[in-house]
C-alpha cells in the first residue's frame, strides 16, 4: 500500500510540474456541488451563488469572514428609520459594454420576484423594499415599511442585471450563454450542464483583476473521485475535502490546504410540538410514554450533557470542526462570549434524568440524514453510543435527505440531526429561522422543525430586528441567543470548518460561506503568503 | 441451419437417485472445496453471536475513541482488534461475522425468491404465448428500465428502512432477469419434439411446464442464479453506498465496504478491505458449487 | 409481422402510462420536492409561492392529468431545477451514456466471447479454470469500489488515464460524441471498463456453458464425424448455436447498462443520463424523472423487439407471433 502511494506521489508530482509549467494562467477547479442554473435569480443555492459572483455583482458583497463590504455600491447609509440610500460605483460596465446605472438596479429588483417557475427565488430579499427611488444615475433610495437593518446584508445576494440586455431574458438564455452577461471578474465562455463551466477573464473588470485568464469549473460530486482527480493532477483545487482524506492530504508535500471556520452549525432538534406521547420515545419496555419527556428542560439538558463534543470533533470529524454551544463562531455578529457547550458528564446526565423522573432512562430513536453533511450518519451513531451510556437507549436511523427532511418538517420525528448555514453571518438569521415561534405572517420559524417556542426569545428577536443601531442590535440578539440555548431549545454540536485542497504553489482565500470562486485563488508566489 | 437438431433429448424424469447426484457432484474436487468453504462461512454466520468477540450491533459496546484502529491494536474493552476497527470503533472481525449473516440472508433470500417468481413467470410467458406473454414481458420491460435506486427509494418511502425491505427491493429489481432468461430458453425448448410429444399425449399443462420444460431450461437459469446471488449481495452494497441499504447500526458486508470506501484514499484500508475479502470468498465458494451443480443437473451434458 | 409490431406498440403505450403513474405516486411518497429545492433561508410565504410555481399545489390526480394533457402534445414538462424542457435535458445527455454503454457492450463481447469459447472447449485446463475464477471478480465486487480502485491505479498511481470526466467532443448532427477523439477515448476507457466488468463475466459464463452443451449435440458429433476441421465445427456449428442466449443477454444487458450506469457515471463524473437521473432523484426533480423513465422504457421495448426479431433470424424454430 505505502509503496504504491509513493509511486503515486512520484507520478503525480510530475503531472503537477507539467501542468504548472504549461498553463500558468489557466485554472481547473473541481467542485463538489452541482451548479443548477446560471440565471442568478432563478434558484437560490450556494453553488449557484458562487458562480453568479464570478459572472455578476451585487450592490454589496461579503468578504471571506462574511462581513458586508462595498461592491457595486460604494457606500450606503440609513437616511431615516425606513429609508436606505446607496451610492453606486461610477464607470462600471457590463461584459457587453453597457453602462451600469441606478436604472439597472431598479430593473433587477423588479425581475427578482417575477422569474417564472423558480423553485426558490430571491424575492425574500427584495420583499421588504416598498419603493425604489432613483435620485440620480448613481444614487438610489430604498424605502421599507418598517425599519430594516439587514438591507445591506440582504442585498449581497441580489446580482444586478442590465436593463438593456436582460429585458426579456429567460433562464434558458442564461444557461445557454448569451444572457450570462454581468459586471463580474469573469465572463462565461461555455457551459455544459452538470459537467463543467468555462470562464474567461473580464479584462475590463472594475476591481482587482483575477490572475487567471481561463478557468474550468468542473463538477465532481463524488467525494473520493474529487480527491482522486486532485491527486491525479486533473484539477488543481477542490472544495469540500472529505474529512477522511484530510490527514493524508495535510502531510502530502505536493499539496496545500486552506481552511477556515465556517458558518454551518450542526445541531440536534427535539420534538417540542407534542406535550403528549412523542412518536419515537418509549419506555424501556417499548410502550409509549404519555408525557413527552423532551418537553422537560432537565431531560434536554441531560441529553446535551451526555454528548462528548470534543470526541465527535476529534474522532468523527477528524478535526474539521469546532465544538459549539451557540449558533455562530467567535468574531461573528451576535456571537455570545462565554456561551460554551456543557462539559460532557455521563453521571450528571443520569442524575438529571432521574430528577426528571427517569431514573431508568427511556428509549429514543435519533434520526438524521446520510448524504447531506460531512459524516452526518457517523455523528448520529456516535451520539447514539453516548446517550445509550447515559441510560437513554438510542437506536439510530439514517435516511437519505429526500425522505428525511420532509418527515422532519412535518414534525414526524422525536429527535433529529440537521445543520444550518448562516449565510448572512449574523445572529438574527438563525434565531429567526431555527428557534423563533413558527409564524407565517412574520416569516419566523420557517425551519423550526421541532417547533420550539419561547416568548422571551421572540420578544428579544423582534426588538433586535427593528434596531438600526448595530451595537444595540447585537446586544439584543446575544440576549435572545443566550435565552434559547440556556433553555436547550436545540442542542448545538459543532461548527464545521470549510476546507479546500490544492496543488502546492497556489494560494486560496478560504471563505466562511463555503463558496468556491476562481477570484479567491492565485499563485502563491505573487501573493507572498502560502495557503495555511 | 438444417434440422439436424433432432436431438434425442432424454425426457428428464428424475431417474437419477440422490446418491448418484452426490457422487457426480463429488467428481470435482474444486466444487467440494467450495462446498466446504461455504459450509464454514455459513457456520460462522449462524454462530456469530457465540464466537464474535463483540456484539457490533450494540451501540453501548462501541466507543468512537476506539475508532479506526489498526489491525492488532488492543482496544479500551481489553481485547485485541485483530482486523482493526471501523469509524465507530466496531471490531471488524465481529462486524464481518455478523455482516455475513445479513449479506447471506439478503443475497440468497432475495435471489431465491426472485428466481422462483421470475422463472415461473418466464416459463408461463413462453409456454402460453400471446397476450399472457405480452403482458408479462412488458412488465419485465417496465421493471428492467426502472432504476434499482429509484425502486429502492420508493420501497424505503413506502415501507421504511429494514433488512426485509431491502430483500423486497432486491426481489423487485431482480426477478425480471430470471423471467427474461427463462423465457428465452423456454421459447427454444418448447418447439422441440419432446414437448410436442408430451402435448400429443395430452399431459396437463402444469406437468408439461414443470416436469418437462423447466428442467431443460435449468442450465442457463443456474448460471444466472449463481451470479445473481453474488450480484444481489453486491447490489445491496451499492444500495448501502447510496444510503438506501440496511440500517447503519446493523451493517452487512456491503455496508462495511461502502463505509470503508471513504477511507481507502487515506490508507485505512482495513475498514473496506477485510469485508471485501470475506465477500469475495463467500461469492467464489457459492459459484464453485453453482458451476458444478449446473453441470451435474444439466440433462444435456449426460453422455 | 405487422400485427406483431402493432401489438407491441400498443403494449408499449400501456407500459409508458403505468410507468408515469408509478413515478408520480412514488415521488409523492418519497418526499416533497419543494422541501428539497427551496433555499433554507426561505420563509413560509416564499415556500407557498414555490409550491404554486412548480404546480404542486393541486391534488396529485390533477397534477397527473395536467401532465398527461401536456404529454399528449409532446411536452413532458420542465425540470424544476434547470427550468428547461426535461426531454431536451435528457437528449443532451444521451450521447454520453450511449457511447459509454456501447463501449462497455463492445468490450464485453470482444473480451468475453473468446475467453468463454476457450473455457468451454477446454473445460479442464488450468487456464480455463483461471478464466472462470477471475470472472467471478467481475460481479462480486461492488461497482463503486472497483471504480475507485481503477482511478487509484490508472489515474493516480500510474498516471496513464485521466481520472474523471468526459474528454473532447466532436459534433455530429447536432450531438456531441467523444469516442472520435483520442482524449475522448482516454476519458472513456475506465468508465467503460467499469461498466463492462459484470457483462464480461456474464458473457464468459454464458458462452462457456453454451459451448459445453453444444459440443455434445448430435449435429456437432455428426459434423466432427464427417471430418470437418475443428475450427469449422467450432465457429460455424457451435458458435452459431450459442449466440442465442448471448444475444438475449447482451441485448437485455444493453438496456440494463444504461439504467445501471448511474453508479459508474457518478463515480467517474461522467455527464450522462445516469448522472442526470441520480441528481434528479436527489432533488426529486419529478419532470426529469418521469421523462427519463419514459425514454428508458421505450428504449427497452425497442431493444427487446430487436432481440426477438434477431431470434427469429438466428433460429428458425422461433417465430414471431401475430397471434398465438
Residue B153, min C-alpha distance to chain C (Å): 7
Nearest to B218 by CA among B139, B295, B121, B141: B295
Q: Is the predicted pLDDT of residue A230 greater than 90, yes or no?
A: yes
Cα–Cα distance measured from residue C199 to residue C105, given in angstroms and rounded to the nearest whole number: 7
Nearest to A418 by CA among B207, C104, C166, C40: C40
The DSSP code sequence of A97-132 is SPBP-HHHHHHHHHHGGG-TT-SB-SHHHHTTEEEE
Cα–Cα distance measured from residue A87 to residue A100, given in angstroms and rounded to the nearest whole number: 12
**Rama region for A419: left / alpha / beta (φ>0; ψ in -120 to 50; rest):** beta
Specify the number of domains making up chain C. 1
C67 in any annotated domain: no
Bridge partners for A403 per DSSP: none
C272 burial type by CB count under 10 A (0-12 exposed, 13-18 middle, 19+ buried): buried
Of C129, C218, C244, the CB nearest to B188: C244
Quick one: chain A helix, strand, coil %, rounded to 5? 35, 25, 40
Other CB atoms within 10 Å distance of the CB of residue C229 = 11
**What is chain B's mean pLDDT, rounded?**
81
What value does the mean pLDDT take over residues A65-73?
93
Residue A342, min C-alpha distance to chain B (Å): 19
What value does the mean pLDDT take over residues A207-215?
93
C124 in any annotated domain: yes
Nearest to C4 by CA among B180, B129, B124: B129
Nearest to B169 by CA among B250, B236, B227: B236
Q: Which residues contact B280 (CB under 8 A, 6 or more apart)?
A: C136, C137, C140, C141
Cα–Cα distance measured from residue A305 to residue A491, given in angstroms and rounded to the nearest whole number: 10
C58 in any annotated domain: no
What is the per-residue pLDDT for A202? 94
C57 in any annotated domain: no
pLDDT band (50, 70, 90) for residue A96: very high
Cα–Cα distance measured from residue C238 to residue B1, given in angstroms and rounded to the nearest whole number: 12
Residue B13 phi/psi, 5-degree rounding, is -60, 130
Of A14, A123, A193, the CB nearest to C82: A193
Residue A356, min C-alpha distance to chain C (Å): 35
Contacts A–B by Cβ distance under 8 A:
87
ipTM of the complex, rounded to two decimals = 0.85
Whether residue A171 and residue C271 make contact (CB cut-off 8 A), yes or no, is no
Residues on chain C touching A405 (C-beta within 8 angstroms): 31, 35-36
pLDDT band (50, 70, 90) for residue B248: confident
Nearest CA in chain B to A2: B267
Whether residue C156 and residue A12 make contact (CB cut-off 8 A), yes or no, is yes
Sign of torsion, CA A520 A522 A527 A528?
positive
Q: Is the predicted pLDDT of residue A315 greater than 70, yes or no?
A: yes
Cα–Cα distance measured from residue A506 to residue A504, given in angstroms and rounded to the nearest whole number: 6
What is the per-residue pLDDT for A135? 94
C123 in any annotated domain: yes
Other CB atoms within 10 Å distance of the CB of residue C17 = 13
A272 to each of A266, A357, A414, A492, how far by Cα in Å?
19, 18, 8, 16
Cα–Cα distance measured from residue A426 to residue A513, given in angstroms and rounded to the nearest whole number: 12
C135: its cell numbers: 470472472
Residues on chain C touching A218 (C-beta within 8 angstroms): 165, 269
Nearest to B223 by CA among B291, B139, B158, B275: B291
C173 in any annotated domain: yes
C19 in any annotated domain: no
Domain residues for the domain of C135 are 86-323
Q: In this predicted model, what pLDDT tens digit does every residue of C135-157 receive, in sequence order? A: 877 777 788 888 888 998 899 88
Task: Name the helix (H) or strand (E) containing A198.
Answer: strand A196-201
Q: Which residues contact C254 (CB under 8 A, 6 or more apart)?
A: C101, C105, C303
CB A213 within 8 A of CB A189: no
Whether residue C159 and residue A233 make contact (CB cut-off 8 A), yes or no, is yes
Strands (E), A242-371: 255-270, 281-282, 321-323, 363-369
At the second CATH level, the architecture of B27-53+83-298 is Orthogonal Bundle (1.10)
Task: Name the helix (H) or strand (E) containing C143.
Answer: helix C143-150
| Boundaries of every domain in chain B | 27-53+83-298
pLDDT band (50, 70, 90) for residue C164: confident
Which CATH number covers residue C191?
1.10.3720.10
pTM of the prediction? 0.88
Q: Is the predicted pLDDT of residue A30 greater than 90, yes or no?
A: yes
What value does the mean pLDDT take over residues B4-20?
52
Q: Is the predicted pLDDT of residue B74 greater than 90, yes or no?
A: no
Cα–Cα distance measured from residue C267 to residue C163, given in angstroms and rounded to the nearest whole number: 10
A75 to each of A57, A109, A288, A370, A389, how far by Cα in Å?
15, 19, 59, 44, 56
Which of B54, B68, B88, B243 is the best residue to mutate to test the A interface, defined by the most A CB atoms within 10 Å of its own CB? B243
Percent of chain C with pLDDT over 70: 95
What value does the mean pLDDT take over residues A238-261?
92
Residues on chain C touching A5 (C-beta within 8 angstroms): 157
Amino acid at each position: 500500500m505505502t509503496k504504491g502511494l509513493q509511486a503515486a506521489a512520484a507520478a503525480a508530482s510530475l503531472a503537477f510540474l507539467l501542468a504548472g509549467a504549461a498553463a500558468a494562467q489557466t485554472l481547473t477547479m473541481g467542485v463538489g456541488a452541482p451548479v443548477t442554473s446560471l440565471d442568478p435569480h432563478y434558484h437560490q443555492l450556494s453553488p449557484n451563488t458562487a458562480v453568479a459572483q464570478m459572472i455578476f455583482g451585487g450592490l454589496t458583497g461579503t468578504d471571506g469572514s462574511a462581513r458586508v463590504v462595498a461592491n457595486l455600491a460604494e457606500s450606503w447609509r440609513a437616511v431615516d428609520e425606513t429609508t436606505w440610500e446607496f451610492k453606486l460605483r461610477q464607470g462600471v460596465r457590463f461584459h457587453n459594454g453597457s453602462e451600469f446605472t441606478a436604472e439597472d438596479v431598479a430593473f433587477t429588483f423588479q425581475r427578482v420576484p417575477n422569474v417564472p417557475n423558480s423553485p426558490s427565488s430571491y424575492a425574500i430579499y427584495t420583499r421588504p423594499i416598498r419603493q425604489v427611488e432613483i435620485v440620480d444615475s448613481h444614487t438610489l433610495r430604498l424605502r421599507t415599511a418598517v425599519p430594516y437593518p439587514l438591507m445591506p446584508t440582504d442585498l449581497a445576494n441580489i446580482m444586478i442585471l442590465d436593463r438593456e440586455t436582460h429585458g426579456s431574458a429567460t433562464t434558458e438564455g442564461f444557461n445557454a450563454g448569451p444572457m450570462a452577461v454581468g459586471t463580474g471578474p469573469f465572463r462565461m465562455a461555455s457551459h455544459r450542464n452538470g459537467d463543467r463551466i468555462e470562464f474567461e477573464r473580464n479584462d475590463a473588470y472594475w476591481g482587482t483583476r483575477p490572475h487567471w485568464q481561463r478557468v474550468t469549473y468542473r463538477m465532481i460530486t463524488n467525494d473520493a473521485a474529487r480527491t482522486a482527480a486532485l491527486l491525479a493532477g486533473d484539477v488543481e483545487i477542490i472544495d469540500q475535502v472529505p474529512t477522511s482524506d484530510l490527514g493524508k492530504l495535510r502531510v502530502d508535500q505536493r499539496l496545500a490546504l486552506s481552511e477556515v471556520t465556517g458558518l454551518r452549525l450542526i445541531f440536534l432538534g427535539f420534538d417540542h410540538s407534542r406535550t403528549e406521547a412523542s412518536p419515537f420515545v418509549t419506555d424501556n419496555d417499548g410502550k409509549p410514554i404519555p408525557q413527552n419527556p423532551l418537553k422537560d428542560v432537565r431531560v434536554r439538558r441531560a441529553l446535551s450533557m451526555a454528548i462528548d463534543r470534543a470526541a465527535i470533533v476529534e474522532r468523527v470529524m477528524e478535526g474539521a470542526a469546532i465544538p459549539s454551544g451557540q449558533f455562530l463562531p467567535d468574531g461573528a455578529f451576535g456571537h455570545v462570549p462565554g456561551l460554551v457547550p456543557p462539559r460532557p458528564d455521563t453521571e450528571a446526565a443520569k442524575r438529571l434524568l432521574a430528577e426528571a423522573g427517569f431514573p431508568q432512562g427511556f428509549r429514543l430513536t435519533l434520526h438524521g440524514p446520510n448524504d447531506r453533511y460531512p459524516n452526518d450518519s457517523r455523528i448520529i451513531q456516535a451520539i447514539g453510543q453516548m446517550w445509550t451510556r447515559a441510560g437513554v437507549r438510542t437506536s439510530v436511523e439514517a435516511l437519505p435527505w429526500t425522505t428525511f427532511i420532509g418527515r422532519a418538517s412535518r414534525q414526524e420525528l422525536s429527535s433529529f440531526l440537521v445543520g444550518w448555514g448562516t449565510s448572512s453571518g449574523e445572529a438574527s438569521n438563525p434565531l429567526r429561522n431555527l428557534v423563533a415561534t413558527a409564524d407565517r405572517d412574520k416569516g419566523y420559524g420557517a425551519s423550526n422543525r421541532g417547533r420550539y417556542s419561547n416568548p422571551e426569545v421572540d420578544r428579544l428577536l423582534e426588538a433586535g430586528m427593528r434596531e438600526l443601531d448595530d451595537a444595540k442590535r447585537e446586544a439584543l440578539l446575544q440576549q435572545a441567543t443566550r435565552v434559547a440555548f440556556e433553555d436547550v431549545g436545540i442542542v448545538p454540536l459543532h461548527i464545521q470548518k470549510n476546507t479546500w485542497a490544492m496543488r502546492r504553489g497556489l494560494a486560496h482565500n478560504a471563505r466562511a460561506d463555503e463558496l468556491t470562486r476562481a477570484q479567491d485563488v492565485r499563485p502563491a508566489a505573487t501573493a507572498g503568503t502560502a495557503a495555511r | 441451419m438444417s434440422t439436424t437438431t433432432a436431438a434425442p433429448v432424454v425426457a428428464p424424469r428424475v431417474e437419477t437417485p440422490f446418491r448418484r447426484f452426490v457422487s457426480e457432484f463429488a467428481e470435482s474436487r474444486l466444487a467440494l472445496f467450495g462446498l466446504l468453504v461455504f459450509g464454514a462461512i455459513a457456520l460462522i454466520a449462524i454462530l456469530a453471536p457465540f464466537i464474535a468477540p463483540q456484539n457490533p450491533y450494540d451501540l453501548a459496546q462501541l466507543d468512537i475513541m476506539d475508532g479506526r484502529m489498526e489491525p492488532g491494536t488492543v482496544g479500551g474493552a481489553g481485547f485485541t482488534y485483530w482486523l482493526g476497527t471501523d469509524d465507530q470503533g466496531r471490531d471488524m472481525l465481529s462486524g464481518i461475522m455478523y455482516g455475513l449473516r445479513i449479506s447471506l440472508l439478503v443475497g440468497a433470500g432475495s435471489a431465491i425468491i426472485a428466481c422462483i417468481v421470475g422463472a415461473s413467470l418466464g416459463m408461463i410467458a413462453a409456454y402460453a404465448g400471446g397476450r399472457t406473454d405480452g403482458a408479462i414481458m412488458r412488465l419485465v420491460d417496465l421493471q428492467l428500465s426502472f432504476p434499482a435506486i429509484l425502486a429502492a427509494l420508493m420501497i424505503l418511502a413506502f415501507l421504511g428502512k429494514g433488512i426485509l425491505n431491502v430483500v423486497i427491493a432486491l426481489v423487485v429489481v431482480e426477478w425480471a432477469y430470471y423471467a427474461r432468461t427463462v423465457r428465452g430458453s423456454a421459447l427454444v425448448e418448447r418447439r422441440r419434439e419432446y414437448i410436442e410429444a408430451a402435448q400429443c399425449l395430452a399431459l396437463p399443462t402444469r406437468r408439461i411446464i414443470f416436469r418437462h420444460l423447466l428442467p431443460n431450461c435449468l442450465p442457463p437459469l443456474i448460471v444466472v442464479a449463481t451470479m445473481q446471488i453474488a450480484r444481489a449481495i453486491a447490489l445491496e452494497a451499492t444500495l448501502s453506498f447510496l444510503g438506501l441499504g440496511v440500517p447503519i447500526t446493523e451493517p452487512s458486508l456491503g455496508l462495511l465496504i461502502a463505509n470503508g470506501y471513504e477511507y481507502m484514499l487515506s490508507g485505512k484500508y482495513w475498514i473496506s478491505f477485510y469485508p471485501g475479502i470475506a465477500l469475495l470468498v463467500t461469492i467464489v465458494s457459492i459459484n464453485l458449487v453453482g458451476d458444478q451443480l449446473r453441470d451435474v443437473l444439466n440433462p444435456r451434458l449426460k453422455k | 409481422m405487422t400485427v406483431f409490431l402493432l401489438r407491441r406498440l400498443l403494449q408499449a403505450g400501456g407500459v409508458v402510462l403505468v410507468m408515469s403513474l408509478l413515478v408520480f405516486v412514488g415521488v409523492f411518497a418519497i418526499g416533497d420536492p419543494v422541501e428539497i429545492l427551496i433555499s433554507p433561508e426561505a420563509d413560509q410565504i416564499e415556500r407557498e409561492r414555490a409550491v404554486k410555481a412548480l404546480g404542486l399545489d393541486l391534488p396529485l390526480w390533477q397534477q397527473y392529468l395536467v401532465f398527461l394533457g401536456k404529454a399528449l402534445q409532446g411536452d413532458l414538462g420542465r425540470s424544476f431545477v434547470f427550468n428547461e424542457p426535461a426531454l431536451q435535458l435528457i437528449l443532451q445527455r444521451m450521447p454520453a451514456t450511449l457511447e459509454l454503454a456501447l463501449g462497455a457492450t463492445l468490450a464485453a463481447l470482444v473480451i468475453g466471447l473468446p475467453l468463454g469459447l476457450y473455457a468451454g472447449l477446454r473445460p479442464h485446463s488450468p487456464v480455463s479454470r483461471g478464466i472462470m475464477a477471475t470472472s467471478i471478480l467481475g460481479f462480486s465486487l461492488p461497482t463503486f469500489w472497483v471504480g475507485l480502485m481503477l482511478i487509484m491505479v490508472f489515474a493516480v498511481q500510474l498516471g496513464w488515464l485521466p481520472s474523471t470526466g468526459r474528454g473532447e467532443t466532436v459534433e455530429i448532427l447536432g450531438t456531441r460524441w467523444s469516442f472520435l477523439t483520442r482524449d475522448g477515448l482516454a476519458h472513456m476507457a475506465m468508465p467503460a471498463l467499469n461498466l463492462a466488468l459484470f457483462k464480461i463475466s456474464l458473457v464468459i459464463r454464458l458462452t462457456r456453458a453454451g459451448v459445453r452443451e453444444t459440443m455434445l449435440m448430435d449435429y456437432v458429433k455428426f459434423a466432427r464425424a464427417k471430418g470437418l476441421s475443428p475450427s469449422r465445427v467450432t465457429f460455424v456449428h457451435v458458435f452459431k448455436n450459442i449466440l442465442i442466449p448471448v444475444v438475449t443477454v447482451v441485448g437485455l444487458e444493453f438496456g440494463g447498462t444504461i439504467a445501471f450506469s448511474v453508479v459508474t457515471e457518478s463515480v467517474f463524473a461522467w455527464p450522462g443520463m445516469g448522472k442526470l437521473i441520480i441528481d434528479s432523484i436527489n432533488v426529486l426533480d419529478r419532470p426529469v424523472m418521469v421523462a427519463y423513465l419514459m425514454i428508458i422504457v421505450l428504449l427497452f421495448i425497442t431493444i427487446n423487439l430487436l432481440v426477438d426479431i434477431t431470434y427469429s433470424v438466428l433460429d428458425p424454430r422461433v417465430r414471431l407471433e401475430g397471434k398465438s
